């Protein structure tokens, strides 16, 4: 299948505005991302989030390694440090083991690990 064409903005931020691309990321690549948008008629609610889908730098780097995406716009320069390379190695290993990996900042960790498709499975690990 052809690589997805995604736009990279400043500070290595990749946002996905296309719903079909967001679904392909989840179903074909097990990339979850984080929905950042709100509904235009109710922008102050935060119970349900909408497109755009924001990708972690780790998710973007993994997709690039697998030639699953073509990035347009600003140059993607991550990982930049030894700590970034360690995060990428950890993320790649967890993903290779079959986990769905999401952000865990609000729980005081780096990643939440799910053994199967979201939201059907509860989180099983916090790293």
pLDDT for res 122: 63
Q: What is the residue-averaged pLDDT of the chain?
A: 89
- Which H/E stretch holds residue 7? strand 4-8
Q: Is the pLDDT of residue 39 over 70?
A: yes
- Dig out the tokens for 79 from the structure: 């990982």
pTM recorded for the entire structure: 0.87
- Dig out the tokens for 111 from the structure: 């990643």
> Could you read off the pLDDT of 72-115 as tens digits, one per residue?
999 999 999 999 999 999 999 999 999 999 888 888 889 989 88
- Which H/E stretch holds residue 111? strand 111-114
Residue 6: pLDDT band (50, 70, 90) is: very high
Q: Is the pLDDT of residue 69 over 70?
A: yes
């Amino acid at each position: 299948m052809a690589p997805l064409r995604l736009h990279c903005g400043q500070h290595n931020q990749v946002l996905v505005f296309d719903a079909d691309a967001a679904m392909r990321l989840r179903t074909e690549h097990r990339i979850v991302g984080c929905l950042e948008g709100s509904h235009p008629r109710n922008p102050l609610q935060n119970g349900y989030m909408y497109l755009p889908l924001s990708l972690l730098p780790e998710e973007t780097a993994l997709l690039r390694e697998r030639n699953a995406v073509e990035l347009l716009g600003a140059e993607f320069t991550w990982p930049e440090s030894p700590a970034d390379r360690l995060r990428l190695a950890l993320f790649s290993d967890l993903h290779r083991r079959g986990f769905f990996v999401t952000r865990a900042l609000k729980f005081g960790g780096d990643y939440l690990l799910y053994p199967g498709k979201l939201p059907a499975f509860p989180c099983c690990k916090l790293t």
